[in-house]
Amino acid sequence: MAQVLEFKLPDLGEGLTEAEITRWLVQVGDVVEVDQLVVEVETAKAMVEVPCPYAGVITARFGEEGTELPVGAPLLTVAVGTPAVGAPAPGGAADDALSGAADAPAETSGNVLVGYGTGAAPARRRRIRPARDVAPVSPAARAEAPVAREEAPSAPAAGPGQGTELAGQGPDAEDGPVPVISPLVRKLARENGVDLRELAGSGPDGLILRADVEDVMRAAAAPLAGPAPATATARTTATGLGATFGTTREGAPAASRAPGSGTRVPLRGVRGAVADKLSRSRREIPDATTWVDADATELMHARVAMNAAGGPKVSLLALLARICTAALARHPELNSRVDMEAREIVQLDEVHLGFAAQTERGLVVPVVRDAHARDTESLSAEFARLSESARAGTLTPGELTGSTFTLNNYGVFGVDGSTPIINHPEAAMLGVGRIVPKPWVHQGELAVRQVVQLSLTFDHRVCDGGTAGGFLRFVADCVEQPAVLLRKV
């Protein structure tokens, strides 16, 4: 007998509670295999592809591209065992496509976490084309899987007693489906006593947006807050599909925005995660910053010489990382974290070096694992790999977590100095400004040298200024005379 199984957005780990659908990899009617990638989602950590643990025919998808879903929300439904939804009559064009689902056992790989599939190559997708004659859908099959706004192409319209619930339509709906942009909007309406059947949605084809529900909520609160303005004003609404800017339900242009109003940008995804982490750092860490100017001329010459010798190219970031790991070996207090519950400073044995990378999605901090055990060439190769993944948005959550110390090269933005915020729960961050020609006293004479400003922001709970100053001075000495690194390590 046919089974219609629901696949929910899995727990993505690392404390992530939601994700935004960025791209569907399958369509309703496609035949999928166990652990085939079905959707690409963006979390606060990275862009990831989610595998489906079932084999069968996709019968429904929940959420369009741009929709933000909480963990545990339905992603899609799959007809497993025999065709249940949208199956054509025998002899139809899709018989071959359905045969795979008909023979597939109703089983799951159990590998529903992102990145944990069987490793088998994904099957070629096959579309089920609508046939003229359509097999009826049993009430039992429909009762097992709620139907989204997008159903199998050839599924018949739901009749009385079939138990169909469209997105935004509750079981108690009386006048047909209520098109709602996401289940979160339906929940908002239910919690605030808003009857969706009485709303005229401002979205495409009357789709009810979050802003429509919020308008009703504001109108209900208007008697308490005073009379509302007589004219409609432009608004910006944050919905499950992202930000919709600049028009009212009446279609007023953004230029009619009321004085004092502004554009609202939702803090979610990478930007929201950065905001949360930086706020926590400022709340919990009593930080201090110290800085020094250094003559980087010899370091630049050393890099040129290394690259001229042949072999893999060495980046400046890799040289600075090598200096950092050497400095942390001498000052392990800065490679630590504070456990306030135990009231202990935990000094870490390994250095997992994070580095700040600006991408189109925002600021991310990829992590070079075991940086203390890598040579300069290995560091350079790993920086290049992680930077490319960051630009492509393909970093995994594991590559974005677990750093113990962060190197921040903000000089690429053309600035000399900064007071960076510590990447919680680390204890310190080294900032590097731009390297530019400046007047400098070199060997007793005024000369033009390549000068860089180095800054260290540190958690004052793990050490005092003497330790922080010693760390920064060692880094500066290595920048000025790279041979110091060989002599003192």
Number of CB atoms found within 10 A of residue 252's CB = 16
Strands 74-80 and 3-8: antiparallel
The identity of residue 216, as a single letter, is V
Residue 460 catalytic?
yes
Q: What share of the chain is helix, strand, coil (3-state, %, to 5)?
A: 30, 25, 45
Tokens of 251: 């279609």
CB 378, CB 347: distance < 8 Å: no
CA distance 44 to 398: 13
- Inter-helix orientation angle 316-330/297-308, to 10°: 120
Residue 464 catalytic?
yes
Tokens of 117: 């599939």
- ∠ at Cα 135 (141, 82), nearest 5°? 55
CA distance 218 to 223: 10
CA distance 228 to 223: 9
Long-range contacts of 165-173 (CB under 8 A, 24+ apart): 167/62, 168/196, 168/208, 173/197
CB 437, CB 296: distance < 8 Å: no
Catalytic, out of 301, 349, 464, 477: 464
Q: Nearest to residue 371, comparing CAs of 389, 383, 387?
A: 383
Tell me whether residue 271 is exposed, middle or buried, using C-beta atoms within 10 angstroms of its C-beta: 0 to 12, 13 to 18, 19 or more.
middle
CA distances from residue 209 to 166, 275, 331 in whole angstroms, order as listed: 15, 26, 55
Tokens of 368: 């070079």
Write out the catalytic residue numbers. 460, 464
